Structure 1
Amino acid sequence: MFTIEHDFDATVITLIDEGHAGLCEDVTINAFEDCVTLEQIDPLSAEPVRITLSLTQLRDLAAALDLPEGSYRMGGKAV
């Protein structure tokens, strides 16, 4: 399950883990004009952990989801 909200400066997507015994904490994705952040509460410390991706990194991640193992550059496979 997920939710989508449009705030003033970001689109916020929350991924909710459901349906099995080993549930993970919710993941919140904030899409800003110049970056995307992913946040999840660390169950051991109860503190949020944040990862920030540039738009280039996000583009590369999206492309990588559909590619086989290897090393790539956008526009062709790296040598």
Structure 2
Amino acid sequence: MFTIEHEFDATVITLIDEGAAPLSEDVTINAFASCITVEQVDPHTDTVMRITLSPGQMRDLAAALDLPEGSYQIAPPPATNPAK
């Protein structure tokens, strides 16, 4: 299960673990214009663990989910010539 909320400066996605115990803590993804943060409470220390991704890293992660093992680089789109 997950929720999506649009706030003033970010889109917040919360992933909620469902199923048989033991369940993991909720994962919160905050998508800002400049970065994406992924947060989860560590139940052993009761502290929030956070990683920060650039938009490019998030794009690469999304692409990697559907690719086989290997090394990849996403090419930028070709430049377009403006109409004169």
Q: State the TM-score, normalizing by the size of structure 1.
A: 0.91
Query: Partners in 1 of 2:51 and 2:72 — Cα distance?
Result: 22
Pairing 1:38–2:50 present: no
Q: Which has the larger share of strand? A: 1
Unaligned runs of 5+ in 1: none
For structure 2, the residue ranges without an aligned partner over 5 or more in a row are 76-84
Aligned residue pairs, count: 75
Which structure has the greater CA radius of gyration? 2
The alpha carbon displacement at 1:22 in A equals 2.1
Take 1:72 and 1:12, find their aligned partners in 2: how far apart are those partners?
29
- The normalised TM-score by structure 2 is 0.86
* Separation in structure 2 between the aligned mates of residue 37 and residue 48 of structure 1, nearest angstrom: 12
**Root mean square deviation, CA, Å:** 0.7
Q: Which runs of 4+ in 1 moved over 4 A?
A: none
